[in-house]
Chains A and B, each alone.
Chain A
Amino acid sequence: MTARGSALSNRPDSVVSSVQNDVVSALRAVDDPEYPGVSIVDLGLVEDVRVDGERVEVDLIPTFSGCPALAFIAEDVARAIEAVTGVGGVIVAFVPEPVWTPDRISADGRRRIAAGFGVGVQLGPKPPACPHCGAPAALRETALFGPVRCRSIHHCDACGEAVEMIR
C-alpha cells in the first residue's frame, strides 16, 4: 500500500500524516464480510490511499472479479472513512490491476484465517501444510472450488480434517 500526500504540500506535515494515519487505521478496522475478524488490509485488498485536503480516494482490488462481496466492502470502507475527523468526501474504487494473489495476505492475516476459520493459504507451488494439524504434504484436493471461488476443498490424510485453501 502506498500513501500519497503531494497535494497537501501547503499544509503542516502533522495534519497530513494525522488524516492519512487515521484513514489507514479506519481501514484496518474494516473486516472482510466473509471473514469476520480479518481486516481487508490484512487480506491485501487495499492498493492505494490518497488524501487530498478533505477528500479521500481509496483503490481496492477484488480477490476475484466476480466476487459478490464487492459492493458491501465498498460500502463498509466508505462508512469507516467518512467517520474519520477531517474527512469531507470519500471515493472508493475497485481497480482491475494489479491482480490479487494469495501472497498479498499478511502473515497476521494468514494466522487469523487459519485459527479462526481453519482455512489455509496456498503460496507458491510447494504443497501446503494442513491448516488444522500442520502436517506437511498430507492434503488431497477433493473439489477444485469450495464455497467461494477463491478456495478449494481438501481432505487431510494425516488428521482427517476437511479443510479449505485460498489460492
Chain B
Amino acid sequence: MARSWSSIGEFETFLDEGGVVEKGDAMPDEYRDAVFRFIELHANSELMGGLTERDWIPKAPGLRRKMAVLAKTQDEIGHAHLLYMVAADLGVKTRDEMLTDLFAGNGRFHNVFHYQAVTWADQVAIAYLVDAAALISQQAVFKNCSYGPYKRILRRIVAEEGFHMRHGEEMLLVFAEGTEIQRSMFQEALDRWWWPTLHMFGPPSKDNDVLLRWHIKSERNEDLRHKFVQKYAPLCTGYGFTPPDPELHRDEETGKWVTGEIDWEPLKATFANLGPDSARRVGDAARHWSDTGWVRAALEAIAA
C-alpha cells in the first residue's frame, strides 16, 4: 500500500498532478518536516486559542454566551487533540515533545494569541474577525492540501469554524446596534485587532515557498489577506466602525479595497514569542498543564 518515489522530481510531479500523500508513504524528509511544522503550528494555536477562550467562560455575559464560549473552548481543545495526533504520526516529534517545547516558550503559535483580549468586545472582535480570517486560510488549505490525514481533519474543523462565525456575527450585531458605550468598546477592540488579523495570513509568500510548491497550501498569503479585506473592510465600515488604517480605501477604478502599508515588525516579534502578551500566555499554558496533571494521572489509572 505504501508508496515511494525515486526522486524529489518524481514526487513533485505526483503532487502537481493532485496526488495525496498518506501517512505510510515514503515521503521525502523535507516534505515530512514541512508538513509537520505546519500541523504543529496549527495544533499549538488551537491549544493556545482554547486556553484563551477558557478565561472568558466566567466573564461571558449571560448563559447563552457562556454556552457558546464553553463550546468554543471544547472545540479548540478537541481540534488540538486531533492535530497533535496527526502531527505525532509523522514521527518527527512526539506529542509530549511538542507540548514540552510549547510550554518552554520554544513552540510557535499564531500571532493573534500573543495579544491580550482586554474587554468582552475584544472577544467579539476575535470571533468576528480572527475566526473569519482563520476560516479563509483553512478553507484554502482544505481545498487542495496534499497531505491526506490533515486534509480530512480540516473538513471537520472548517465545518465547526463556520459555526463559530455565526456566533461572531450575532455578537457583533449586538455591539453595532448597541449604546454609544458598546459602540466605542467595539471600536477600541477593532483598533487592537485589525492589524493582528491582517498579519495572521503571514508575510507575502515567497516564490520558492515549499508549502506552496508541495501543495500543502494552495493560495498565497497576500491573496488570502486580500480576500479577507474585500469582505471585512466594507462590513466594518458599513456598521459604522473605522479600521485603524487611514489609508484604507476602495479603489475607484478596480472597485477593490486597498490597505495602507503593513508594518511587519509586530508579526516578527510574535514569531520569536516576544509579542506583547507572549510570556504571560505561555506561562499560563504551562501552569495549566501542570495544574491538570492529576486529571491525566487519574484517567490513566482508570484505564490501566
- How far is A68 from B299 in the complex, measured between Cα atoms in Å? 27
Contact between chains at B85 and A162 (CB < 8 Å): yes
Segment from B75-83, B112-120, B191-199 that makes contact with A: B75-83
Contact residues in B for A67 (Cβ distance below 8 Å): 71
Q: Is A22 an interface residue (CB 8 A)?
A: no
Q: Is B279 an interface residue (CB 8 A)?
A: no
Closest B residue to A35 by beta carbon equals B159
Contact between chains at B71 and A68 (CB < 8 Å): yes
Interface residues on B, range: 20 to 34
Contact between chains at A148 and B75 (CB < 8 Å): yes
Closest B residue to A118 by beta carbon equals B152
B154 to A: closest C-beta gap in Å: 11
A43 to B: closest C-beta gap in Å: 14
Contact residues in B for A69 (Cβ distance below 8 Å): 71, 163
Count residues of chain A with CB under 8 A from any CB of chain B.
Answer: 30
Contact between chains at B81 and A153 (CB < 8 Å): yes
Contact between chains at B67 and A34 (CB < 8 Å): no
Q: Is B210 an interface residue (CB 8 A)?
A: no
Contact residues in B for A132 (Cβ distance below 8 Å): 152
Contact between chains at B64 and A117 (CB < 8 Å): no
B244 to A: closest C-beta gap in Å: 31
- How far is A71 from B65 in the complex, measured between Cα atoms in Å? 11
Q: A117-B159, A118-B156, A160-B24 are in contact. Are A148 and B71 (CB under 8 A)?
A: yes
Contact between chains at B163 and A147 (CB < 8 Å): no
Query: How many residue pairs between the two chains, A and B, have CB atoms under 8 Å in the bound complex?
Result: 78
Q: Which residue from A142, A144, A149 sits with its C-beta under 8 Å from B85?
A: A142
Q: Is B74 an interface residue (CB 8 A)?
A: yes
Q: A147-B74, A148-B74, A148-B75 are in contact. Are A68 and B160 (CB under 8 A)?
A: no
- How far is A154 from B166 in the complex, measured between Cα atoms in Å? 28
Q: Is A33 an interface residue (CB 8 A)?
A: yes
Task: Tell me the residues in window 47-72 of chain A with beta carbons closer than 8 Å to chain B beta carbons.
Answer: 66-69, 71-72
- How far is A145 from B81 in the complex, measured between Cα atoms in Å? 10
Closest A residue to B157 by beta carbon equals A147
- How far is A118 from B81 in the complex, measured between Cα atoms in Å? 16
Interface centre among A66, A68, A147, A161 (most CB of B within 10 A): A147
- How far is A72 from B76 in the complex, measured between Cα atoms in Å? 20
- How far is A162 from B85 in the complex, measured between Cα atoms in Å? 7
Q: Is B212 an interface residue (CB 8 A)?
A: no
Interface centre among A35, A117, A132, A161 (most CB of B within 10 A): A161
User: Interface on A for B, CB 8 Å cutoff?
Assistant: 33-36, 66-69, 71-72, 116-119, 132, 142-149, 151, 153, 155, 160-162, 164
Pairs of residues from A and B, 6 with the lowest C-beta to C-beta distance, nearest first = A147-B78, A68-B71, A146-B78, A162-B85, A147-B75, A68-B67
A-B contact pairs, 6 of them (CB 8 A): A72-B166, A145-B78, A148-B78, A160-B149, A161-B152, A162-B149
